A and B are shown apart, each in its own frame.
Chain A
């Protein structure tokens, strides 16, 4: 199931939450949708799932337009909205039955499907509880179970791991990977390692526009080229002398102290150069002791921050 987003625009008053957004998700791809809060991720997802109409533009799901065939598209999509809203007063079975009926699963298959989803999402121990009695992690499982009960070809998950503890995050992430094989998945998140772990492709949006699009590796490579070092020098007279000396080196673009750590500095070099040897020589020359020098790897976080600030 491919999804084509074409020149999508959504206005809230004079503000454009989504601004002429176009991209395509291929069948079987897991797309990580990134962006700061308010970038338009949730709005885009709401439009793809036919909850909201766009101000302009269109989304085609396997050639069907959201404007003309919303009900057919809704059947193909499993959606987990932000904050995972659920009917808290309903029981798990009762709720899954309700969703299964709405999705038009034949009566004789509903029971089998529910049992299967409960098993897959690991809800078996809790299955007789009401949703309101469940912990956040288990509610998230119910949310995933309801999204996938009709075996949709497309999954749209809006921050599926937000608010969970680290163990739950790993569990839910594994669940998504397990359930998402052979499905087209769009997943939005703030947690960048999560994207690296689960997604084939990353799309970063900011202020309703795409600012980066590519595999996690590609994006990281784009931002590299700049070496960042963390160094600690002791037996130097004072920080200012060290900083001045560092800044006078040829290859160094920028040097600054690290707050809360004494005599520790962050040094970034000019693109495609290295300053490790120079720093070592400088210390030898001045008779300082270099107690730490570590290479800071460019992380997706940095790429993200670069692209979405300013």
Chain B
């Protein structure tokens, strides 16, 4: 547990040292701010004191930004050899994967914290459904967990960061859109399965303020699977035949 905390602290600091974190925060806040307040179906267009436009935008911005964060986390360390250095310290593969996951989640957490002024502004404008806002934020974190674990898995597969990035987007698109599309054309067990796998259904219900254990189990198990596969790929060096 201690090792996980030490590594994730270091990873988080690396985000800030390498300016990645600042670039991400600025672009994320800029994008979501622009579409929440100024353009498209923004708050004033809807005419309701709600953060729905923000959640709708963040849903997509995070989809692109998280793979950009995770793409190098394992790939670069494998390539430069620092992974070898790290894993010859008293640390297990699983601890490395989890700590990278946590570092990334903390950064997303910081990004979301910085959007709290949106919440307060909307609150000042009119009556807000506070429950829906908080569960929206909660859903955003859960969704980030899924993206991060997919991103780490993609990063563990290839030593090339661009490949990792594209692969993470590719897998992400399945969870975001394709499973949903396929599910609508299918019935029976397969249709049910695909619609269960689709991230949007689970996310929608949470962002509306309905927190169901079924959805929680979904987010946690998909994240866990991603991390588990990342660990499998990381420890593949042990069984090269």
Point out residues on A near B: beta carbons under 8 Å. 11-13, 46, 49-53, 55, 71-72, 74-75, 77, 79, 81-83, 85-87, 89-90, 94, 98-99, 101-104, 146
When the two chains form their complex, are residues B241 and A13 in contact, meaning their CB atoms are under 8 A apart?
A: yes
Which residues of B are found within 8 Å of A74, using beta-carbon distances? 88-91
How far, in angstroms, from A243 to B17 measured CA to CA in the complex? 69
Contact flags B224-241 to A (C-beta < 8 A → 1, else 0): 000000000000011111
Does B3 interact with chain A (Cβ within 8 Å)? Answer: yes
A51: which of B6, B17, B80, B87 is its contact (CB, 8 Å)?
Answer: B87
Q: How far is the CB of B78 from chain A (nearest CB, A)?
A: 10
Which residues of B are found within 8 Å of A81, using beta-carbon distances? 81, 84-85, 88
* Contact (A71, B14) CB under 8 Å given A11-B241, A85-B81, A102-B6: no
When the two chains form their complex, are residues A85 and B84 in contact, meaning their CB atoms are under 8 A apart?
A: yes
When the two chains form their complex, are residues A53 and B80 in contact, meaning their CB atoms are under 8 A apart?
A: no
When the two chains form their complex, are residues A71 and B17 in contact, meaning their CB atoms are under 8 A apart?
A: no
Listed A/B pairs (21) with beta-carbon separation below 8 Å: A11-B241, A13-B241, A55-B241, A71-B92, A74-B89, A77-B88, A79-B85, A81-B85, A85-B82, A85-B85, A86-B82, A86-B85, A87-B14, A98-B6, A101-B6, A102-B3, A102-B6, A102-B7, A102-B89, A104-B2, A104-B90
How far, in angstroms, from A98 to B2 measured CA to CA in the complex? 12
How far, in angstroms, from A51 to B165 measured CA to CA in the complex? 27
Which residues of B are found within 8 Å of A104, using beta-carbon distances? 2, 90
Does B18 interact with chain A (Cβ within 8 Å)? Answer: yes
B82: which of A49, A55, A87, A101 is its contact (CB, 8 Å)?
Answer: A87
Name the residue on A nearest B5 (C-beta): A101
Q: How far is the CB of B112 from chain A (nearest CB, A)?
A: 25
Which residues of B are found within 8 Å of A52, using beta-carbon distances? 237-238
